[in-house]
Amino acid sequence: MSGNGSVRLLSRHFGLPGQTHIETAMKRGAYEQFKRALKMKPEEVTALVKASGLRGHGGAGFSAGLKWSFVPKDVFPRYVTVNGDESEPGTCKDRLIFEYDPHLLIEGALICAWAVQAERVYIYIRGEYFYPARIMQTAIDEARAKGFIGDNILGSGWSCAVYLATGAGQYICGEETGLLESLEGKKGWPRLKPPFYPAAIGLWGKPTIVNNVETLAYVPRILEIGADKFLAMGTPKAGGPTLFSLSGCVKKPGVYELPTGVPLKTLIYEYGGGITENRKLKAVIPGGSSSHILTAEECEDLKLDFESVAAAGSMLGSAAVMVLDETISIPQLMVWMVRFYAHESCGQCTPCREGTGWLLRLATRIADGRGRKRDLDDLYELADNIDGKTVCALGAAVAWPTKSYIKKFRPEFEALIKQ
């Protein structure tokens, strides 16, 4: 831990000259942990990651090591897909990993592939990330040239290929099964779970680990410092630090790597420099736009770890913290938020397909001052009718913010409804 309480574990080498080039990265330790992992048994690697308490940083927060252990024993081949679809509004941290330490990601993905004995790794980057994709492709080519990717890697007897794949502009391809559908060359329509849990039935029906970029980027560090030290950098239930994407009405927006469980107020005021123009804090969206909004009171003592945020009635999700000050209109925020989900709905199932558009119409009407008396209650009820009744979590992702905005800021909506 550095002097001012920040923990630069993953981002240790961000911004150092030449870090994207393999020679320079290797001088700073890149691929050393991969070499060590190859000398361990695959199950040992999985056990280590499990013990480290590493949780998924893509939004769901599922234990990474536990997910790796779900791969059925006798089913081959296996695959690893790195979820680089970073599209949750507010989230902007995976981008930095692609751009500043691509080899850390490749190393983490390779260690995961070794642990689950995968024969292919697909790094899936969203289509809009043109520059990061170029950096990643170069890095993959370098790693292959060095022999970290390919046949009989470093004489281990194990072969693994790594390829880049891109999306083409749909948030739903960040949903793990939506991603697999996209990788298979189809529309990103999420699959039914059960039975299509990727670890059991994934890419082309084979066991597939789908992990977020940040999650896998921590893996080499876990091997480096050990499970206990890693766990200690977070909470007992969520080990290691987290990359927080801080944005909105703060003086110093940016990506902050801090211990998981850091108090929200510390992030906003100590690191973020406080609210722009020293205004009053009104609300915070703690985990990307899909999370419930929290009032300033609710933020008072809040710690940013999965359990604490859940206990406060929201979720840590992708740790995308959006700060709202007193000048922000919640009804207007509702329109920006719902518009996103209405555009991103894949259309497969009814409540989301028909409901998101309807929510947008109602929210727009209210924000424009043309709201009818019953519109607010309808809006809440419709969101509730979508929540939990869809094929994938996008239903909940639009319902939770909608309901929480109305529940916690109702008078602001009512003020706009004149009839």
Partner 1 sequence: MDIPDNLIRKAEEIFFRFPPDRREAALVLLMFEAQRELGCIQPDTERWLAETVGVSPVKVREVLTFYSMFRREPGGRWVVQLCHNISCCLAGAENLQKLVEKKLGIKNGQTTPDGAFTLRYVECLGGCSWAPMMLVNEAQYYQLTPEKLDRIIEGLRSGKPVPPDEPTPLLGNVGEKNIA
Partner 2 sequence: MPKLEIDGKPVEVPAGTNLIEAAKRLNIEIPHYCFHPGLSVVGSCRMCQVEVELNGRKSLVIGCNTAAADGMKVIINSDVVERTRRSVLEFYLQNHPLDCPICDDAGECDLQNYYMRYGLHDSRVELDEKRHKHKVHDVGPTVVLDSERCILCSRCARFCREIAGVDELGIFSHGGESELMNVPGKLLENDYAGNVVDLCPVGALTDKDFRFKRRVWYLQRTPSVCMGCSRGCNIYVDWETERSYKNPQRRIQRLKPRFNRLVNEWWMCDRGRYSYHAVDAENRLRTLRTKSDTDPHTTLDQILERAAAKIKTAISKHGAKSVAVLGSAHSSNEDLFLLKKLFAEHLKVQSMDVTLGKEPKGKEDEILMKADLAPNRRGALEIGVGPWSDSTISGDDILSGALDGDYEVLIVVGHDITRGLSAKEQAKLDQNCDYILYLGTHDNATCALADDVISIAMWAEREASYTNFQGRVQKTQQPFPPLGEALCEWRVWNELGKKLGFTVPYLNVDDVFDAIGGSIASFKGLTWEGLGAEGKMLTGVAEPPYRKVQSAHPLAAY
Among positions 192-231, residues that touch partner 1 (CB under 8 A) are 204
Residues 259 and 3: their CA atoms lie apart, in Å, by: 13
Considering only residues 256 to 295 of the shown chain, the ones binding partner 2 according to CB under 8 A are: none
Sketch the per residue contact string, 334 through 363, with partner 2: x for CB under 8 A, - otherwise: --------xxxxxxxxxx-xxxxxx--x--
Residues 356 and 36: their CA atoms lie apart, in Å, by: 49
Site for partner 2 contains 402 (CB under 8 A) = no
Residues 181 and 289: their CA atoms lie apart, in Å, by: 24
Residues 360 and 372: their CA atoms lie apart, in Å, by: 14
Cα radius of gyration rounded to whole Å, the chain: 22
Residues 6+ apart with CB under 8 A from 198: 176, 177, 180, 207, 208, 209, 210
Nearest-approach distance from CB 23 to partner 1, in angstroms:
19
Residues 212 and 107: their CA atoms lie apart, in Å, by: 14
194 preceded by a cis bond (ω within 30 of 0): yes
Nearest-approach distance from CB 172 to partner 2, in angstroms:
8
Considering only residues 179 to 198 of the shown chain, the ones binding partner 2 according to CB under 8 A are: 181, 186-187, 189, 192, 194
Among 68, 271, 380, 413, binds partner 1 (CB under 8 A): 271
Q: Which H/E stretch holds residue 360?
A: helix 350-367
Site for partner 1 contains 94 (CB under 8 A) = yes
DSSP state of 192: P
Sketch the per residue contact string, 281 through 300, with partner 1: x for CB under 8 A, - otherwise: ----x---x-----------
The upper half-sphere exposure of residue 206, i.e. CA atoms within 13 Å in the direction of its Cβ, equals 17
Considering only residues 226 to 255 of the shown chain, the ones binding partner 1 according to CB under 8 A are: 243, 245-249, 252-255
224 touches, from partner 2, partner 1, none (C-beta below 5 to 8 Å by class): none
Contacting range for partner 1; rule: CB under 8 A; set: 48-56, 84-92, 306-314, 386-394 = 84-92
Contacting range for partner 2; rule: CB under 8 A; set: 18-26, 74-82, 208-216, 386-394 = 386-394
Could you list the residues that contact partner 2 (CB under 8 A)? 170, 181, 186-187, 189, 192, 194, 342-351, 353-358, 361, 378, 382, 385, 388-391
